A and B are shown apart, each in its own frame.
Chain A
């Protein structure tokens, strides 16, 4: 849970209050808090003068607009064919062992969420993952653990 404070109002000022402002507003909330709470979606609905169901209906369509709690760092491991051929499973095992969570779970300290995702466009440097917005490529089980540990220290 988080409290948006003035964020939704500020974002409505920045992006406008039209229907086409909806995606940029939701994306900015997710950029800051990593997921959308019911409260945040209701606030957005109020600002844009549309029903909360419209906001939820739109958000729930998009994989990156999560409506369930996510950690501060969302790790998305590409599972599409080339990454899968080039050792995706070893990358997942290494992350699971390091964070002691399974795919789909969030660490108890809410620092990391581990997910799988479809092709992220780094097939020539597979296997690849995204941590929040940042891609990491040409991974080995060792290098991915170093990257995760680096995020732990942040």
Chain B
């Protein structure tokens, strides 16, 4: 087990000269850009962790002359707020990353899907976008970005639901395959990347893949922006090297009484104190799109679980039965056990239901409800029952 300890990094918010990085990227053959991103080992920063270089490579390989690069800024996972901060402080690097991605795979058009809750940012984002478009045309390159807004649906962070939403439909996830790289937005080859992923890609071009691979572990290269909240004296946004244990994280951010850390938001995993030392934060352990919530011993893990299930029951798009009915039944089920209307062994039935949802649900929402459910029920069974 590779353990890097806790190290602060400054890549995402570091000020750079966008013009020189873009000129450097545009001077590179497109397969060199992709090669750099592949060599860096960068995995998607939205949470799912698909290798970014592969996504670009697949999209680049498509013959269709019309392709899109889409930036997923529908940051809705409970406890995640780093994309807002990145857009607030470094929008020019998000735009730059999109242009580089566009160059790498032959897309001239980009869309940013921004969650409605962040509408207040739009005036400054448009100002930055105006500057960016001017810079791009000064360089003599043809690339254009437009914003599209969400309207309060968590599910639209799922890539194909996001496309549906941009196209003017209900945000219901599509069947896969086909994957976005062959048929995405408007049925055209599309690479859809998280805000932080695009900025990181730009920094990889700026600094070189060889610089980037020095950070992190074999399975989790680089650094990551963490959104830290809950029972911590220093809530906020921190960029840290990947490869630390939950224990090291808690030592730095806990309040001395941390009993559990929810890694990856409502769709992530709950790590109890006894597993802090052995659990690595990253793709080899518990992955996260950035959300880190600390709970101290004054908190009821039943309340945490109930809050998450209530969240999913509301945010399930309702399209497929396992997720629509499953979320509601899990919520009802834990309420029944808590009230004593069902025996504690009923929790085992609910765990089976969560397993079924993982297999049978159409998209990541229903498939990941079981993560939090099972890790809380398994580690804090008494709190859920009594």
Contacts and interface: CB of A to CB of B under 8 A. Distances in A.
Contacts of A118: 76, 78, 154, 311, 314-315
Interface stretch (B32-40, B167-175, B192-200): B167-175
A57 interface: yes
Interface in A23-40: 23-24, 26-27, 30
Nearest to B185: A20
B151 A65 contact: yes
Contact of B79 (A21, A119, A133): A119
B369 to A, nearest CB: 14
B229 interface: yes
Interface residues of B, number: 50
Contact of A58 (B118, B168, B229): B168
B148 to A, nearest CB: 7
Given A21-B168, A23-B148, A134-B120, A124 B237 contact: yes
A133 B119 CA distance: 6
B84 A121 contact: yes
Interface size on A, as a range, is 35 or more
B304 A63 contact: no
Contacts of A51: none
Given A64-B151, A80-B78, A121-B75, A126 B120 contact: no
Contacts, number: 116
A119 B77 contact: yes
B244 interface: no
Contacts of A111: none
Interface string B333-375: 0000000000000000000000000000000000000000000
B227 interface: yes
Contacts of B172: 61
B235 A125 contact: yes
A80 B311 contact: yes
Given A62-B151, A63-B151, A81-B308, A119 B78 contact: yes
B307 A81 contact: yes
B227 A124 contact: yes
A85 B149 contact: no
Contacts of B186: 20
A108 interface: no
Given A58-B168, A82-B230, A118-B315, A24 B148 contact: yes
Contact of A81 (B78, B84, B317): B78
A62 B153 contact: yes
Contacts of A11: none
B255 interface: no
Contact of B120 (A23, A62, A133): A133
B80 interface: yes
A78 to B, nearest CB: 9
A19 interface: yes
Contacts of B235: 123-125
A83 B307 CA distance: 11
B153 A135 contact: no
B49 interface: no
A63 to B, nearest CB: 4
A125 B230 CA distance: 10
B371 to A, nearest CB: 15
Contacts of B317: 61
B127 to A, nearest CB: 17
* Those 8 A-B pairs whose CB atoms lie nearest each other, nearest first: A63-B152, A123-B229, A124-B235, A62-B151, A64-B152, A22-B168, A61-B170, A64-B151
Interface of B: 75-81, 84, 115-120, 148-154, 165-172, 186, 227-231, 235-237, 262, 266, 293, 299, 303-304, 307-308, 311, 314-315, 317
9 contacts: A27-B149, A65-B152, A80-B78, A81-B230, A85-B230, A119-B311, A121-B118, A130-B117, A134-B120
